Amino acid sequence: MKKGLTTLFLSIIIMFILAPHGYATPPQGQIEQLIQTETNLKGAIVGISIRSAKTGEVQYEYNGNTRLKPASNMKLMTAAVALSILGENYRFQTEVRTDGVIKGRTLKGNLYLVGRGDPTLREEDFNQLASEIRGLGITRIEGNLIGDDSWYDDVRFSPDMIWNDEDDYYGAQISALTASPDKDYDAGTVVVDVEPGKTLGSQAVISLVPKTKYVHFINHVTTVTPEEKAKVTIKRLHGTNTVMVEGMIPLKSIRKREFVGVWEPTGYALDLFQLALERHGITVSGNVTRGISTKSHRLAVHHSPTLSVLMVPFLKLSNNVHAEILVKELGRKGTGQGSWKNGLRVVKNELKKFGVNSDVLVFRDGSGISHINSLTANELTKLLYQVQGKPWFKTFHDSLPVAGKKDKLVGGTLRKRMAHLDVHAKTGTLTTVSSISGYARTKSGETVIFSILINNILKEDKGKLIEDKLIEIIANQSF
């Protein structure tokens, strides 16, 4: 008989014995009572693990060794391995190189923009690189502008990415040379802003952030009366960088904003760099293309923020692209090849050093977007226990969303949940999947580690409410 069912029967017996005497239901009984009676869990599978943060002892489990889809709880594995192997102070770098020589104000040769995986490159960073080139006295490049993204392989989507996610920000393509439109570092995306026109019946006003010639839009949005509701759809056409914008937007209404994943982000980064060169008075006589920099020397370099800084938007905002870049970077560092296959091999091997039995788990990506990923609640809490002894644990812990903290770079995906509890945890959501794993302070002052994985639930938002109820039971009781 399953341990969960055995525990349930014992809990029911204890409830009947103790109830007449006025004793409260033990937390184990409360958890299982909630699971058995919650209508939104009918037909669903729940995995729960609760572990002492002090001793590592499993205090309670329910299907704790059952493999379940983790959604973005997979990022806990990726983050821990990245901090362990790369280190808190690791920085990505981007170089500008040339195979030519400078004669007067002319660079005779090709100019290379060489990517090493940095997901934080923004328009201002390309401007800085262009400024450094201009500082060398160069105003003309007699050669090609070439983007070198060979640091990673050229596979842009993780193995199980479904086609209708490909133009969403969370499904953006992965390249060693990419660009971000914002300080949240949503790499590989461009922001499409739609605002009403000045008069009824006029076309809406559409703009891109950052401004780029790489992405084009078709404007089929009409300005309507203030009483009507906005209805705007923004969709990039497959295999292109043409964005179809359709619908209607009320006069004087607030803008509609959406992040769209670009097709081939290497070209996107190259376009932003070319525009920066033009702003600094530098012209390129040749073509703009992809290639590999050989027999070249460096003219300028840009370093990303440290990995400890990057962990904040990665975990708090659950950035999928960061996860996949980290997997490829781990593959590059560990095997010399920046691919999902090699990166995930490094992840599984490193997890074994934490005592995690990765041989019984299934890894398909670093973000958790695949429905084939399979983790167990017990292995997740084991990881969260083991990392407490690592020198980088504070960075890891501080990067987790904090319940009820309204600042999105503090509360992250928990900023609107459980404000009355002291919880640091990573959330996860996929279609039919809801998950949360992390640390909770109980009313007795003890820290407990927990993992809750819910699969096959019809409404993920109901899963969040159930998780909150379960965590409240965990935080308000002693095991």
| Residues that are catalytic | 72, 75, 318
Q: With contact defined as beta carbons under 8 Å apart, do 200 and 142 qualify?
A: no
Number of other residues whose CB lies within 10 A of the CB of residue 36: 11
CB 71 within 8 A of CB 430: yes
Angle (CA) 231-234-240 rounded to 5° is 160
User: Quick one: which of 86, 116, 119 has its CA closest to 310?
Assistant: 119
Contacts (Cβ under 8 Å, ≥6 apart) of 78: 323, 326, 327, 347, 366, 367
DSSP secondary structure letter of residue 375: B
Contact criterion met (CB below 8 Å) for 460 and 472: no
* The CA-based dihedral angle spanning residues 303, 388, 332, 91, taken in that order and rounded to the nearest 10 degrees: 0
Report how far Cα 178 is from the mean position of its chain's Cα atoms. Answer: 15
Strands of 447-455's sheet in order across:
58-62, 45-52, 447-455, 433-441, 423-430
Q: Residue 100: exposed, middle, or buried by beta-carbon count in 10 A (0-12, 13-18, 19+)?
A: middle
